[in-house]
Amino acid sequence: MPFLIATAFLPMIGLLLVVVAAIVIAVHPKSRTYGFASWVVAAVLAGLIYPSLYLEYLPTDYSKFLNILLQIAMFGMGATLTIEDFRRVLRMPKAVFIGAVLQFSVMPFLGWGLSRLLGLPAELTLGMVLLGASPGGISSNVITYLAKGNVALSVSMTAVSTLLAPIMTPLMVYVMHARLWRSITSKCF
């Protein structure tokens, strides 16, 4: 009987330990850099152990909730940038150019290589190439911010990739999978 009672409280004790560890990591001067990551881990574990904590308070239409969170994240990153940050980026256009070239060459090729390595069918391989050719978006900017990288450069590269995407994404998919594309469309039409 005491074993059953202890087992019932085990998830709660584990969650409490994770929250305490997150607090210690966030407060300690040598590990403060990992504070955000520790809170993310604590929140994910809380959701896994007690999903009702989140399900009771989240709206049923998650798209509105997600849009607000993305807007807050974008505003927070934008508030850290200055005009001088973008002037520094303008002084190094080579970095933005290299980022755009890599976005539309290496990333689709990695998608293709990974799908070949995993033995995915042709349709999923095309999807991986398409995903690889898509611009980074906010997640790359957030990761750059958390890693204390050049956020202005990341934002500039995302903007350039997004402007090039309507032309380059279909072009890179066609170039990398011209034969595959014809075989898939011939099945569909």
Please give the chain's pLDDT, 189 residues, in tens: 555 555 666 667 777 887 888 888 878 888 777 777 777 788 888 878 777 767 776 666 666 677 777 777 777 777 777 888 888 888 888 988 998 888 888 888 888 889 889 988 888 888 888 888 888 777 788 788 777 788 888 888 888 888 888 998 888 777 766 656 565 556 655
DSSP string, 83-149: HHHHHHHHT-HHHHHHHHHHHTTHHHHHHHHHHHHHT--HHHHHHHHHHHHS---HHHHHHHHHTT-
Handedness of CA 107, 112, 117, 122 (dihedral sign): positive
Pairwise CA distance, residues 41 & 114, whole Å: 27
pLDDT digits (tens, 9 = 90+) for 144-168: 877 778 888 888 888 888 888 899 8
Cβ pair 112, 128 in contact under 8 A = yes
pLDDT at 177: 64
**Nearest CA among 90, 111, 76 for reference residue 153:** 90
Pairwise CA distance, residues 111 & 125, whole Å: 7
Q: How many CB atoms lie within 10 A of CB 112?
A: 19
Domain 61-189 - what CATH class?
mainly alpha
pLDDT digits (tens, 9 = 90+) for 128-146: 888 888 887 777 887 887 7
pLDDT at 43: 80
pLDDT at 9: 67
Any idea which residue has 């398409």 for tokens? 130
DSSP string, 47-94: HHH-THHHHTTS-S-HHHHHHHHHHHHHHHHHHH--HHHHHHHHT-HH
Domain coordinates of the chain in residue numbers? 1-58, 61-189
